[in-house]
C-alpha cells in the first residue's frame, strides 16, 4: 500500500507540474476569470454562447481547442478508487470579505488571509467562492440544482478548485448568512461582509473526486486541480432564486455544458474503514 500511495502522489505531482506550464501567464485565479461578462453568455444561438467562446477572443481559444476542459461527468464506472490520495486538509480561518455581483455570477472574495487547503502536498490559499446554477459537473449523468466553487491559488500560481453540489431541500447554512446581501447586490457592487470564515462552508463528506481540468468560464485556463466533494448537499428554492434573480439576463442558468474527458483519469478518495 505504501508503494501504491507513493506512486499516486508521484503521478499527480507529475501531471500537475506539466499542466502548470499552461499557467505561466496567470497571476492568480481571480485574474484568470473574466470579470467583464459582456463578451459572452450561456445562451446558444446568440453568437456568444459556450460553443462560440473559443472564437470570441484570441486569448480564449483553449475553450474550443483544449483537451483538459471542465466540467465533466463523474461516472462511477470510470472512476478509480484510490485511498492513497489522502484526506483533503483544510486550514481555513475568518477574514475580511466582500460579496460581489460579477454579472455572470455572485461571488464572495476574501480580502484578508482566510487560510488554505493542502492538496497533493501543495498549499493553496483560498481566494473566493462563487455559485453556478444548475450544477456544472454531473454525477452519473445527473445534473443537480447548484454548484459552489471555492477557488484557491498556490504560491507558484497554480489553481485548485473545490466543488460542492446541491439539490433542493433544506436551506444551506452558508448561503443563509448571505441571502439578504445577495438580494440587494447590483452588478459591480462590492458589499462589505465583515469577517467571514470559509470554514462555514459545509462539505459533509471526506469522500471526493479528483482530476485535472480547467476554469469553466473564459478564458478556460487549463491545469486546474479539481476536487469535487462526493456528498450532494441541500439548498432551498429561495436561495437558488435569489442567486439567479440578481445576475444579468443570459446568466440565470450559468452552467457550462459538459466537456469531453479525453481519457483523463478521475480518482475517488474514500477513507479506509
- Residue 35 clears pLDDT 80, i.e. is over it: no
- For residue 262 the three cell numbers come to 479525453
Average pLDDT over the chain reads 88
Range of the domain at 104: 52-269
User: Could you tell me if residue 34 is inside a domain?
Assistant: no
Q: Comparing C-alpha atoms, which of 177, 166, 160 is closest to residue 227?
A: 160
3-state secondary structure 227-244: EEECCCEEECHHHHHHHH
- Residue 22 clears pLDDT 70, i.e. is over it: no
Number of domains in the chain: 1
User: Could you tell me if residue 30 is inside a domain?
Assistant: no
- For residue 67 the three cell numbers come to 483537451
Catalytic residues: 104
User: Could you tell me if residue 6 is inside a domain?
Assistant: no
CA distance 199 to 202: 7
CA distance 36 to 110: 20
Q: How confident is the model at residue 32 (pLDDT cuts 50, 70, 90)?
A: low
CB 212 within 8 A of CB 228: no
pLDDT on residue 252: 86
pLDDT on residue 33: 61
Task: Determine the straight-line distance between the first and last CA of the chain, rounded to whole angstroms.
Answer: 15
Torsion, CA 58, CA 60, CA 61, CA 67, rounded to 10: 160
CATH of the domain at 246: 3.10.200.10
pLDDT tens digits along 187-240: 888 999 999 999 999 999 999 999 999 999 999 999 999 999 999 999 999 999
Around Cβ 174, how many Cβ atoms within 10 Å? 21
- Residue 30 clears pLDDT 50, i.e. is over it: no
pLDDT on residue 97: 98
Of residues 260 and 26, which shows the higher confidence score?
Answer: 260
User: What does the DSSP assignment read for 175-239?
Assistant: HHHHHHHHHT--TT-EEEEEEE-GGGS----S-EEEEEEE-SSTT--EEEEEEEESS-EEE-HHH
Of residues 17 and 152, which shows the higher confidence score?
Answer: 152
Point out the least confidently predicted range of 33-37, 188-192, 242-246, 263-267: 33-37
User: Could you tell me if residue 151 is inside a domain?
Assistant: yes
pLDDT tens digits along 153-200: 999 999 999 999 999 999 999 999 999 999 999 888 899 999 999 999
pLDDT on residue 273: 66
User: Could you tell me if residue 120 is inside a domain?
Assistant: yes
CB 252 within 8 A of CB 241: no
φ/ψ of 148, rounded to 5, equals -100, 135
Helix, strand, or coil here: 151? strand
User: Could you tell me if residue 140 is inside a domain?
Assistant: yes
**Which pTM does this prediction carry?**
0.89
What are the helix (H) ranges across 95-161? Answer: none
pLDDT on residue 39: 86
71 cis-preceded (ω within 30 degrees of 0): yes
pLDDT tens digits along 65-124: 999 999 999 999 999 998 889 999 999 999 999 999 999 999 999 999 999 999 989 999
DSSP 137: S
User: Could you tell me if residue 14 is inside a domain?
Assistant: no
Q: Which residues contact 25 (CB under 8 A, 6 or more apart)?
A: none
User: Could you tell me if residue 9 is inside a domain?
Assistant: no
DSSP 82: -
pLDDT on residue 14: 44
Mean of pLDDT values over 123-140:
98
Amino acid at each position: 500500500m505504501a508503494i501504491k500511495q507513493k506512486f499516486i502522489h508521484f503521478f499527480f505531482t507529475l501531471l500537475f507540474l506539466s499542466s502548470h506550464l499552461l499557467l505561466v501567464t496567470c497571476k492568480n485565479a481571480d485574474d484568470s476569470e473574466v470579470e467583464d461578462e459582456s463578451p459572452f453568455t450561456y445562451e446558444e444561438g446568440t453568437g456568444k454562447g459556450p460553443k462560440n467562446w473559443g472564437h470570441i477572443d484570441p486569448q480564449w481559444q483553449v475553450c474550443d481547442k483544449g483537451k483538459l476542459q471542465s466540467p465533466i461527468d463523474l461516472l462511477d464506472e470510470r472512476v478509480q478508487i484510490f485511498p492513497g490520495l489522502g484526506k483533503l486538509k483544510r486550514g481555513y480561518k475568518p477574514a475580511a470579505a466582500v460579496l460581489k455581483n460579477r454579472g455572470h455570477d455572485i461571488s464572495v472574495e476574501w480580502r484578508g488571509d482566510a487560510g488554505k487547503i493542502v492538496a497533493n502536498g501543495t498549499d493553496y490559499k483560498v481566494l473566493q467562492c462563487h455559485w453556478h446554477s444548475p450544477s456544472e459537473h454531473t454525477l452519473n449523468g445527473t445534473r443537480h440544482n447548484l454548484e459552489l466553487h471555492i477557488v484557491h491559488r498556490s504560491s507558484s500560481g497554480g489553481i485548485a478548485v473545490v466543488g460542492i453540489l446541491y439539490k433542493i431541500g433544506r436551506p444551506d447554512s452558508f448561503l443563509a448568512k448571505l441571502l439578504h446581501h445577495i438580494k440587494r447586490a447590483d452588478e459591480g457592487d462590492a458589499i462589505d461582509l465583515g469577517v467571514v470564515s470559509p470554514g462555514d462552508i459545509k462539505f459533509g463528506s471526506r469522500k471526493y473526486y479528483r482530476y485535472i481540468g480547467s476554469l469553466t468560464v473564459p478564458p478556460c485556463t487549463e491545469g486546474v486541480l479539481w476536487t469535487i466533494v462526493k456528498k450532494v448537499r441541500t439548498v432551498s428554492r429561495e436561495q437558488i432564486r435569489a442567486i439567479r434573480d440578481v445576475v444579468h439576463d443570459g446568466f440565470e442558468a450559468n452552467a457550462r455544458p459538459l466537456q469531453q474527458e479525453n481519457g483523463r483519469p478521475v480518482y475517488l478518495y474514500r477513507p479506509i474503514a
